[in-house]
C-alpha cells in the first residue's frame, strides 16, 4: 500500500507545478511497484487541497496556458491501474476537488468541504471538474456548485454520491489505509479487472459495458486468485492470494 500526503501547509496544499510533478511522479512509481496493491492520497486536517495555485496562475495568458497545456499532466491519473483512494479532511476546492474526483473513490472526514469555486475567480474548472462532477452528482447539482461556487459539507457530499464514506476527521487516515490494505490483500488481477470494469461504465453504453464486464469476469477464471478464493471459501478458511 502506498501513501501520498500533500504537504504545502502555507498555501492550504494549493497545487503548483512542482507539487503536481512530484505527486504524479510518485503515483507512476507506485503503479510500477509490484509490492504496492493500492494507493491513498491525502492532505492535512485543514485542507486536502484548496485548488490550483492562484499565485502561480494569476499572470498567465491564454497562450501561456495553451502552450503549457496547464495541468493536463493530471490526466495521467486516469491511466493509473491501481486503485487510488482520496482521503479528504478540510477543503477540497477547485483543482483539489477535481484531484479527489480523479481518484477511484473518496473517503471524507466529517469536516471536509467540497466545491468548484473557480467562477469566483473569473474562470471555470480545468482538470475535468465539469465532466466528473456532473457524472458523479448529476447535472442539476453540478450546475449549482459550478455556477454559484458554493461549497458543500461532507454530509451533503455523501448524500449526492460524491463521497463514498464519511468518518470522524481523526479516524480518516486509518480508515483509508485499512480500505487500501483490504484492497491490496485481494487477488491483484481481480482488483485491476474490477476497477477497469467500473471505469468502463462512464465511457460506453450499458450493453457494451455489460459485454465488457462479462469478458473481464470470464478472464478472472484464468487467474490463480479465482482458484484460491473459491477453494478457500469451500474449505472454510481465509484465502491467501499470490498476486497472479
Ligand atoms: C494559492 C492559496 C490558495 C490557492 C489558499 N491559499 N488557497 N494560495 N492558491 N488556491 C493560501 C492563501 O493565499 C493564504 O496565504 C493561505 O493559503 C491560507 O489561506 P486563507 O485564505 O488565509 O485561509 P482561510 O481564511 O481559512 O480560507 C481557506 C480557503 C481560502 C477557503 C480555502 O483560502 C480559499 O478560498 N482559497 C481559494 C480556493 C479557490 O478558489 N480554489 C480554486 C482555485 S482555481 P497567505 O500567504 O495569505 O497566508 C483552480 C482551477 C483548477 O483550482 C483548474 C486548473 C487547470
pLDDT along the chain (244 residues), means of 10: 96 96 97 96 98 97 95 93 98 98 98 98 98 98 98 98 98 98 97 98 96 98 98 98 87
Protein residue with least CA distance to atom 29, ligand 1:
50
Ligand 1 center to residue 16 CA distance, Å?
Answer: 12
Ligand 1 center to residue 118 CA distance, Å?
Answer: 11
Residue-wise pLDDT for 57-67, tens only, equals: 999 999 999 99
Q: Is residue 14 in contact with ligand 1, taking CB distance under 6 Å?
A: yes
- What's phi and psi for 13, nearest 5 deg? 60, 30
Q: Is residue 145 in contact with ligand 1, taking CB distance under 6 Å?
A: no
Handedness of CA 68, 93, 43, 189 (dihedral sign): negative
The residues carrying an active-site annotation are 52, 95, 98, 118
Contact 80, 27 (CB under 8 A): yes
Protein residue with least CA distance to atom 14, ligand 1:
11
State the first-to-last Cα distance of the chain, in angstroms, to the nearest integer.
17
Assessment of whether the complete model's pTM goes beyond 0.85: yes
Three-class secondary structure of residue 37 per DSSP? coil
**Which residue, among 111, 82, 116, has the nearest Cα to 99 in the 3D structure?**
116
Q: How far apart are CA 128 and CA 218, in angstroms?
A: 33
Handedness of CA 32, 27, 100, 136 (dihedral sign): negative
Select from 47, 50, 151 the residue to mutate for testing ligand 1; criterion: most ligand atoms less than 8 Å from CB: 50
Count other Cβ atoms within 10 Å, centred on residue 87: 27
Contact 83, 38 (CB under 8 A): yes
Ligand 1 center to residue 150 CA distance, Å?
Answer: 15
pLDDT of residue 234: 98
Ligand 1 center to residue 49 CA distance, Å?
Answer: 9
Select from 51, 94, 116, 124 the residue to mutate for testing ligand 1; criterion: most ligand atoms less than 8 Å from CB: 51
pLDDT of residue 243: 83
Ligand 1 center to residue 198 CA distance, Å?
Answer: 33
pLDDT of residue 242: 87
Protein residue with least CA distance to atom 11, ligand 1:
11
> What ligand 1 atom has the least distance to the C-alpha of 47?
32
> What ligand 1 atom has the least distance to the C-alpha of 151?
31
Q: Which three cell numbers stand for residue 83?
A: 486503485
Amino acid at each position: 500500500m502506498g501513501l501520498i500526503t500533500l504537504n504545502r501547509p502555507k498555501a492550504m496544499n494549493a497545487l503548483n507545478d512542482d507539487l503536481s510533478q512530484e505527486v504524479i511522479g510518485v503515483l507512476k512509481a507506485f503503479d510500477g511497484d509490484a509490492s504496492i496493491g493500492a494507493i491513498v492520497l491525502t492532505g492535512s486536517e485543514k485542507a486536502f487541497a484548496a485548488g490550483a495555485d492562484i499565485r502561480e496562475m494569476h499572470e498567465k495568458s491564454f497562450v501561456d496556458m495553451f502552450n503549457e497545456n496547464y495541468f493536463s499532466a493530471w490526466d495521467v491519473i486516469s491511466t493509473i491501474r491501481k486503485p487510488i483512494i482520496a482521503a479528504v479532511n478540510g477543503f477540497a476546492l477547485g483543482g483539489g476537488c477535481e484531484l479527489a474526483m480523479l481518484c477511484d473513490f473518496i473517503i471524507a472526514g466529517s469536516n471536509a468541504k467540497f466545491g468548484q469555486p473557480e467562477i469566483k475567480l473569473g474562470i471555470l474548472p480545468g482538470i475535468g471538474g465539469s465532466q466528473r462532477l456532473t457524472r458523479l452528482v448529476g447535472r442539476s447539482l453540478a450546475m449549482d456548485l459550478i455556477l454559484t461556487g458554493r461549497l458543500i459539507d461532507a454530509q451533503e457530499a455523501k448524500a449526492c454520491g460524491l463521497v463514498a464514506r464519511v468518518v470522524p476527521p481523526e479516524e480518516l487516515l486509518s480508515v483509508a489505509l485499512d480500505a487500501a490494505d483490504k484492497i491490496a490483500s485481494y487477488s491483484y488481477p481481480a482488483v485491476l479487472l474490477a476497477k477497469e470494469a467500473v471505469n468502463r461504465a462512464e465511457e460506453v453504453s450499458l450493453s457494451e459495458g455489460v459485454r465488457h464486464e462479462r469478458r473481464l469476469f470470464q478472464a478472472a477464471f484464468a487467474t490463480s486468485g479465482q482458484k484460491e478464493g473459491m477453494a478457500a471459501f469451500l474449505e472454510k478458511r481465509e484465502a491467501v492470494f499470490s498476486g497472479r
